[in-house]
Structure 1
Amino acid sequence: MDAGLAAVLGALAGSVATIGAALATGWAQRESALITVRSEHRRDRREPRQNAYKEFISIAHRMRNLTAAWAVDVNLTPEIDDTREEAWSQTERTLKQVATDAVLAGPTPVAKAAIELTQSATQLVINLKTYRQCVAEGQGRLVREMRRQLFVSATEFDAALSGFMLIAQSALDDDGSL
């Protein structure tokens, strides 16, 4: 090989190496920028999510407090009056309203848990109203069945609330590294 060809090949090899190094550096910088952007996005989303989750959990706790007596023992029959029934209904409506913020705040597992909790609250109120109607109509067998349904609904609501809180906490703790 003569000196001229060796010089051209050396220059070509140097150019290819320089281009390769430039591409690798550019790719690394791009990835670093993406990581920074993702991190900032997660940080910006955390506070609104936390506020939405906190409000939703607060209303759900109010519902839990109103229904706690029904989840203690299937044989207990706590007193129900119009005021208590209206409090249940109003709390369930409020829960549905704030659920929208929790669902939109995401991510998907939190949204699913919020929907499940809201549906559980609705079922609880439906069972309460049916129970009251059965009591008013003196339908003994149906009263016992609806009391059992109320117990099941109240315990399912309690479990759904606990599940939502754990999933929400996990979503807030997610730093995107997994």
Structure 2
Amino acid sequence: MDAGTAAVLGALAGSVATIGAAMATGWAQREGARITARSEHRRERREPRYNAYKEFIAEATRMRNASAVWGIDLSHTSEVDDEIIDYWRLVENALKNKARDVVLAGPTKVTKAVIELERLATELVVEFMTYRDVVGQEPLQSEMRRQLLLKAREFESALVSFKLSAQVALDDDGS
């Protein structure tokens, strides 16, 4: 090989290496920008999710607190009047209003947990209203009291599941 051919091949090799390095640098910059954008997107999604989850948990906790005594003591038979029923309905509606925000914030696992809590909240209110209607009618009263105990415990368990799902969703860094 003569010196001229060697010089041309050397220049060609240098050009290919320069182009390859430029392409690799460009790819690395694009990848870095994509990672940064993804990280920023996740951060922007986390804050609204956090707020939606926090507000929903507050309402679900109100429902749990209202039903707590019914989920602990089977012999508990306090007076049930329209004022108490109205309170339960108010708490149920507040819970469902906050649930919409959580459903929109996602992700799917959290949405499923919210839908379950909404269903249980409605069932708790229905069970409570039915209990009010059968007070003094044994054995119906005992059976409805037992149903209230089961629903209250089921709601408590579903609330714990929601909290754990929400925590996992907030901790997800996308990796």
| TM-score, length basis structure 1 | 0.89
In the TM superposition, what are the counterparts of 1:27-176 in structure 2 within 5 Å?
A: 27-135=27-135, 138=137, 140-176=138-174
Deviations 1:96-153 (A, max 9, x none): 11100011112222222111111111111121122222336x2x23332222221111
* 1:174 maps to amino acid: D
- Partners in 1 of 2:83 and 2:13 — Cα distance? 86
Give the C-alpha shift of residue 13 in structure 1.
1.8
Give the C-alpha shift of residue 9 in structure 1.
2.1
- Partners in 2 of 1:44 and 1:125 — Cα distance? 36
Higher mean C-alpha displacement, 152-161 vs 121-130? 121-130
Kept after mapping to 2: 8 A contact 1:70/1:78: no
Kept after mapping to 2: 8 A contact 1:69/1:78: no
Partner residue in 2 for 1:14: 14
Of all paired residues, the percent bearing the same amino acid is 63
- Partners in 2 of 1:63 and 1:90 — Cα distance? 10
Report the aligned-residue RMSD: 1.7
Deviations 1:16-37 (A, max 9, x none): 2112111111111111111111
- Which consecutive residues of structure 1, in runs of 5 or more, have no partner in the other structure? none
- Which consecutive residues of structure 2, in runs of 5 or more, have no partner in the other structure? none
- Partners in 2 of 1:165 and 1:24 — Cα distance? 44
| TM-score, length basis structure 2 | 0.90
- Partners in 1 of 2:93 and 2:12 — Cα distance? 73
* 1:157 maps to amino acid: F
